[in-house]
Amino acid sequence: MDQYIIIGVVGSGAMGAGIAQVAAVAGHQVVLYDNNAAALEKAKANLTQTLQKLQEKGKISNADDVLKRFTFAGEINAFAKCGLVIEAIVEKLEIKKTVFADIEKNVSDTCILASNTSSLSITSIAAACGRPQNVMGLHFFNPAPLMALVEVIPAVQTNPAHVQPAKELMHRWGKTPVVAKDTPGFIVNRVARPYYGEAIRMYEEGIASMEEIDNAMVQSGGFKMGPFTLMDYIGHDVNYVVTETVFQSFFYDPRYKPSFSQKRLLEAGWLGRKTGRGFYNYNEPGTADKPVDNSNNTQIVERIVAMLINEAVDALYLNVATATDLETAMTKGVNYPKGLLQWCDEWGAEKCLAILDGLYDSYHEDRYRASILLRKHAKEGKRFL
């Protein structure tokens, strides 16, 4: 593990700075690189302020000691002595490939290069490198210092021997690592898509209002946030783009089809809370507090949760991750009230299948096709856990 003493981070935005903070607090020397000098200075000021607050709260003993572990670099050759470099820049594949090829020229032959991408192909990124066996995905969740989950994603080319040390390193950083196959969206951003997509579908069809759907998922489903509130919180420039990327990457599978309702918000610049308006208008207090009809709660929750369960079951069937890692990812990564496989076991696979088959019979859309594994478990009365 000596090779991991010095950690490099590419990109000093919220995500990159957050990852750098995690590594520094864990005791590493950290090189935080950005070719934008103003962004780098802003990150330094923000990290200084954040570390001081952590010291005041007793979370760290000495902010100055942690800050001394940082090197704020404007040149990529500052990574020369790093054992691990994590990229956290814009979600554009060609830009990432160019950056990885540049980093590789400035590090040792044994340095591991990792991408924090949430949905792009690690294999494609690795293909830009001369040593693709040293490339993998380490997907942190925002905000990185607070969120426990990290998806560890080996590419097709990744040396399998790198996976376990990466998991061990994440444990030492106080994180909860799960291993995911290099498929679109990995675990969380794949399995979670129906939470947004099916909610929007019901809203567009007039089955329920946004307020009714949000209320149902929180009050009856036990989720921390309803889907419309959550999309506004994440930002449509992020949430919609991930949906579109996953949809395209899955060869336009209708299960991941984006919605015009959300696309129009993106086009209007109504990105959610950060712009004051998204699905809800945050410039008018109380607009999300309209009277709510609870009569549809069961129908709303069962439809969305059945779709989520089906995604988790299909991910298990296709060996995207183990059952344990699937459960951990959804409870730690997006704070679901329980794992989806556990939820299926509590309902019974027969109930979940009946909901999906009922939707398929009504719509005749491939969007509602049940996973073959769910169908088998329902037929044989099996549990997943």
Task: Dig out the tokens for 199 from the structure.
Answer: 């909610």
Instruction: Using alpha carbons, list the distances in angstroms from residue 278 to 144, 234, 267, 270, 284.
Output: 24, 11, 11, 5, 12
Please list, in sequence order, all residues whose beta carbon lies within 8 angstroms of the beta carbon of residue 303, skipping any fewer than 6 positions away.
198, 202, 355, 359
Measured distance CA(138)–CA(186) in Å, rounded: 11
Quote the CA–CA distance of 11 and 5 in Å, as a whole number.
19
Torsion, Cα of 302, 379, 313, 212 (10° steps): 0
What's the rounded Cα separation, in Å, for the pair 16 and 5? 18
| Number of Cβ atoms within 10 Å of the Cβ of 155 | 21
What are the distances in angstroms from CA 246 to CA 91, 120, 186, 296?
13, 9, 10, 30
Q: How far apart are CA 322 and CA 122, in angstroms?
A: 19
Active centre residues (catalytic): 118, 139, 151, 189
